[in-house]
Amino acid sequence: MSTTEKRHIDPDRALVRRKQVLDAAAACFGRSGFHGASMAEISKAAGMSAGHIYNYFDSKDAIIAAFVEQNVERVSQLMRDLEQQADPLQSMVDDAPRHVREHLDPNTWPLALEISAEAARNPKIAEVVRDADVRARVQFRAILKSSRERHGLAVDSDTLDGLLDAMISLFQGLDVRVVHNPNVNEPALARYMGIAMKAMLFS
Amino acid sequence: MSTTEKRHIDPDRALVRRKQVLDAAAACFGRSGFHGASMAEISKAAGMSAGHIYNYFDSKDAIIAAFVEQNVERVSQLMRDLEQQADPLQSMVDDAPRHVREHLDPNTWPLALEISAEAARNPKIAEVVRDADVRARVQFRAILKSSRERHGLAVDSDTLDGLLDAMISLFQGLDVRVVHNPNVNEPALARYMGIAMKAMLFS
Amino acid sequence: MSTTEKRHIDPDRALVRRKQVLDAAAACFGRSGFHGASMAEISKAAGMSAGHIYNYFDSKDAIIAAFVEQNVERVSQLMRDLEQQADPLQSMVDDAPRHVREHLDPNTWPLALEISAEAARNPKIAEVVRDADVRARVQFRAILKSSRERHGLAVDSDTLDGLLDAMISLFQGLDVRVVHNPNVNEPALARYMGIAMKAMLFS
Amino acid sequence: MSTTEKRHIDPDRALVRRKQVLDAAAACFGRSGFHGASMAEISKAAGMSAGHIYNYFDSKDAIIAAFVEQNVERVSQLMRDLEQQADPLQSMVDDAPRHVREHLDPNTWPLALEISAEAARNPKIAEVVRDADVRARVQFRAILKSSRERHGLAVDSDTLDGLLDAMISLFQGLDVRVVHNPNVNEPALARYMGIAMKAMLFS
DNA sequence: CATGAATGAGGATTCATTCAT
DNA sequence: GATGAATGAATCCTCATTCAT
């Protein structure tokens, strides 16, 4: 998954332009979805002619791919943050409310859903998403392993596999949940999320 | 629940035709997504001319809406099944592996995701989905309430709110998870799902 | 090179429509060239919406290919006519004026040129054109061989090769010539064409 | 002959630049045709920015026109060469094989065809091409006249008209021929070309 | 002189929808 | 009821051309 698509004389300016487009795309994608957002819509939001966008991206699909790549990188950042914690297991439980709040943020979840839905049928996007997932799981697994060892808990492969995916599933479910129930009782939900996490992490 | 779309001479035949279309649509939507599936594709799958479909549905959006409505009803059926159990709380925990398996079935999750993503941007679909969710939560809440009372557990409103959404979130997350990690370790995941559910349901 | 592109319930009507499009295309191609003619232009000339044309042709390129195929078939017809003659060699010489006149017809040559120019860079068209040329040469060669044998002239392979291509070249040159000199002195030209042909055919 | 396109500080440098562009254009036009070659392609081949080309040419059409003009001048050079010969008629016949070889050269004929095809629909190009043709015919006619007089052959206007166009036609046909039959038997063809030329020139 | 970023009109193509039969 | 021919608006994308630097 390439980082720079075209050669430009001034790479900084080009990067700014690419960001402009991706930011505009984020807004449009959130509003209308990948397929609902037209290049015209995106170009207007980016303050740039539609034709010019093609100096920075090969196609609309390339914009979608770049956008997905960018979004998918945020998970790795999360992992790095978690790594810094003294006791990651406890931190996760303690930070549950914050993470819940973030996952319920209406600027985030429509895009997360859109990405997953797209990945479900677009193999190119699926690849991006799955590669990122592999990387994130590797990081997460290492964190869980060392933390659990310190707590004297099991760290066999199956255990880590299950814990890993169950934990992530719990959070990814939030993005879906809020679509179906926008009036979710956040504190109450966070409390139970904490209960579930604690049970899993320390079993 | 907007069922009466058109007037027909023979309502039974009309119903058969509508079902034909919806079944075809299900296949096409699963393969190509709501926007990727064309009316031509659907009409071919339905063994019916494209034009004729418009005798049963006002528009493609109407087909999507009807399809979503139909899909969303399956949750209610689940609730009714659960209601029949002697000890629903324990049944849920015990049945975790089966539910996990079902949610990881590749015939199901792409559509679940597609529906959620569509609901995130199409208000009409959002309404359908949210109405169904309200109804499902009412049913689920009643089941949880009576079961937990029998177990001497708290049944205050906040508790039920949180438990409800956390439980559903956990399962809805599976549909997303499998997209990102198609090689998920199912038994291991099911085990931890069970742990999380048990902790939540009996807290 | 396929003959029927799409399936239609009424093949006759479809054929009429295809012909409509090809006739319109002929006019537009003659006026503006393959690339200069837009689908909008063609559709207007065909009395049919641009979108509808795609029910009969896969793409604009397919229209070009079909058009070329159709044009290229006329040479075979010429060969069949020639075959009927009692003394093909003499007929060719005698009919020189008529053939010259036909090649100078302004409805014909722009398209012949356009086809050759397109074949020079479009491999798909080149194939069509070359296949037709092979077939035409096979027919022409047989005619020349038997006629020359009857006249007691050489019919070795090289002789036929050279005679063949030189004869065709002479006529194909006319299409080019008339572009460069639209005021060509037709009878005078025809006379010298006859001289050249006679010399070649009977050497 | 419209040479003075723009005013430049250093006319020599400008001429060099124009040549750069025309050479690049020749390569691109040969590869992709007039319409297939983009300004971006040409500018890259010319080692010059697309924008800068517009300091030397008013438009892409102006480049095409200049390119055609330049190409079309080569015929005059041929005439001058021919003029130098002791017996031009015999020289033509003798040099037939060389001329055939040159006309079959794949670096030449695609452009000749492209030019003729363009002239068939672009009046501006048609004018350039026809003007050049008039001049070439004047030169050729003078050569033929004096040579034929020396040989005691007819030199009336009609005779020269016919001979002229038939001779040129024969050669222009080669450019077309080779597109349709790339495996042309060159020596055999040259032999028959010689036969035809001899018959015409000395009749 | 020279660049290449930026524009915007125009092109091919798709597709939901209509309607005569 | 049922067809599929027909429409036309909308979409992505290309490219000649301009212009600030």
At A141-179, the pLDDT tens digits run 999 999 999 999 999 999 999 999 999 999 999 999 999
Q: What DSSP state is assigned to residue C119?
A: H
Pairwise CB contact (< 8 Å): C162 & D199: no
Map out the domains of chain A as residue ranges. Answer: 1-58, 68-201
pLDDT tens per residue, range B22-78: 999 999 999 899 999 999 999 999 999 999 999 999 999 999 999 999 998 888 888
Most C CBs within 10 A among D71, D74, D116, D193, hence the mutation to make, goes to: D116
pLDDT band at C2 (very low <50, low <70, confident <90, very high): very low
Residues 58-117, chain A, CB closer than 7 Å to nucleic strand F:
59-61
Q: Cβ contacts (< 8 Å) between D33 and chain C: which residues?
A: 35, 117, 120-121
User: What gap in Å lies between CA C131 and CA A172, rounded to an integer?
Assistant: 60
Ranges D11-15, D123-127, D142-146, D198-202: which has the least confidence: D11-15
In this structure, of B167-176, C118-127, D100-109, the range with the lowest mean pLDDT score is: D100-109
Q: What are the two backbone dihedrals, phi and then psi, of residue A55, each rounded to the nearest 5 degrees?
A: -80, -15
Give the nucleotide with minimal C1' distance to the Cα of B10: F1
Query: Exposure of D22 by Cβ count < 10 A (0-12 exposed, 13-18 middle, 19+ buried)?
Result: buried
Q: Name the closest nucleotide to B57, judged by C1' and CA.
A: E17
Q: What is the pLDDT of residues C45-72, one digit of tens each?
A: 999 999 999 999 999 999 999 999 999 8
Helix, coil or strand: residue D62: helix
The mean per-residue pLDDT over the stretch A2-23 comes to 80
Cβ neighbours of residue C64 under 8 Å, at least 6 residues apart?
C25, C29, C34, C118, C125
CA dihedral A60, A61, A65, A66 (to 10 degrees): -20
Determine the Cα–Cα distance for residues C203 and C199; give it in Å rounded to an integer: 6
In the 13-72 segment of chain D, residues within 7 Å (Cβ) of strand F are 37-40, 50-51, 54, 59-61
Number of H helices, E strands in chain C: 9, 0
Distance (Å, whole) CA C174 – CA C101 = 10
- So what's the pLDDT on residue A5? 57
Q: Do chains B and C touch (3 or more CB pairs under 8 A)?
A: no
d(CA C7, CA C17): 13
| pLDDT beyond 80 at A21 | yes
B84-95 residue pLDDT tens: 999 999 999 999
Q: Find, in chain A, the residue whose alpha carbon is nearest to that of B106.
A: A120
Q: Which residue is nearest to nucleotide E19 (CA to C1')?
A: B51
* Facing A192 at nearest CB: one of B116, B187, B200: B200
pLDDT digits (tens, 9 = 90+) for A52-89: 999 999 999 999 999 999 998 888 888 999 999 999 99
B6 touches strand E (CB under 7 A): no
Give the chains touching A; criterion: ≥3 Cβ pairs < 8 Å: B
- Tell me: pLDDT of C82 over 60: yes
HSE-up (13 A, CA, CB side) for residue A196: 34
Chain C, nearest residue to D190 by Cα: C162
Look up the CATH architecture of domain A1-58: Orthogonal Bundle (1.10)
Amino acid identity, position D120:
A
pLDDT value at A17 more than 90: yes
Going by pLDDT thresholds of 50, 70 and 90, the confidence category of residue B117 is very high
Contact call for C and D: 3+ CB–CB distances under 8 Å: yes
For residue C33, what is the nearest residue in chain D, using CA coordinates? D121
Rounded Cα distance between D147 and D149, Å, is 5
Taking contacts as CB-CB distances below 8 angstroms, the residues of chain D near C109 are 120
Closest to C199 measured CA to CA, from C82, C93, C96: C93
**In this model, does residue D1 exceed pLDDT 70?**
no
Residue A110 and residue D167: Cα distance in Å, rounded? 74
DSSP codes joined into one string, chain C: --S--S--S-HHHHHHHHHHHHHHHHHHHHHHHHHHS-HHHHHHHHTS-HHHHTTT-SSHHHHHHHHHHHHHHHHHHHHHHHHHSSSHHHHHHHHHHHHHHHHT-TTTHHHHHHHHHHHTT-HHHHHHHHHHHHHHHHHHHHHHHHHHHHTT----HHHHHHHHHHHHHHHHHHHHHHHH-TT--HHHHHHHHHHHHHHHHT-
- Round to a whole number and report the distance in Å from the CA of D44 to the C1' of E4: 12
User: Residue B2: is its pLDDT beyond 50?
Assistant: no
User: Count of C–D CB contacts within 8 Å?
Assistant: 204
B31 touches strand E (CB under 7 A): no
Mark yes or no for CB contact D195/C203 under 8 Å. yes
Task: Work out the average pLDDT over B77-84.
Answer: 90
pLDDT at D36 over 50: yes
Separation between Cα atoms, residue C189 and residue A175, nearest integer Å = 82
From chain C, pick out residues whose CB is under 8 angstroms from the CB of D135: none
Decide yes or no: CATH 1.10.357 for domain B71-201.
Answer: yes
Asked if strand E contacts B51 at the CB level, meaning under 7 A, the answer is yes
- Establish whether the CB of B49 is closer than 7 Å to any nucleic acid atom in strand F: yes
Q: Which residues of chain C are within 8 Å of residue D129 when distances are taken between CB atoms?
A: 179-180
Handedness of CA D87, D90, D91, D92 (dihedral sign): positive
φ and ψ at residue A196, rounded to 5 degrees: -65, -45
Query: Distance, angstroms, CA B139 to C1' E11?
Result: 56
Q: Which CATH number applies to D68-201?
A: 1.10.357
Measured distance CA(C100)–CA(C110) in Å, rounded: 15
The pLDDT assigned to B176 comes to 95
Q: What is the mean pLDDT of residues A191-197?
A: 96
Mean pLDDT of C100-112: 88
Contacts of B18 (CB under 8 A, 6+ apart): B5, B56, B57, B66
A86-103: average pLDDT:
93
Measured distance CA(B186)–CA(B169) in Å, rounded: 18
Task: Output C192 or A6, whichever has higher pLDDT.
Answer: C192
Distances (CA, A) of C174 to A42, C67, C103, C126, D125: 54, 21, 6, 21, 19
Question: How would residue C6 be classed by pLDDT, with cut points 50, 70 and 90?
Answer: low
**A52 CA → E5 C1’, Å:** 8
- Residue D31's φ and ψ, nearest 5 degrees, are -75, -45
Q: What does the pLDDT read at residue D6? A: 61
Q: Quick one: pLDDT band at residue A48, thresholds 50, 70, 90?
A: very high
CA distance B52 to B63: 13
Rounded to whole angstroms, how far apart are CA atoms C23 and C15?
A: 12
Percent of chain A with pLDDT over 70: 97
d(CA A175, CA C164): 75
> pLDDT > 90: what percent of chain A?
84
Distance CA A21, CA C196 (A): 67
DSSP 8-state class, residue B38: -
Distance of B169 CA from F12 C1′ (whole Å): 38
- Alpha-carbon distance B121 to B125, whole Å? 8
- D165 and C177: CB-CB below 8 Å? yes
Overall average pLDDT of the B100-117 stretch: 90
Protein-covered nucleotides of chain E (CB closer than 7 Å) are 1-20
Q: Over the range D85-101, which residues count as b (16 or more CB within 10 Å of their CB) and which as e?
A: eeebbeebbebbeebbe
- Mean pLDDT across B153-167: 96
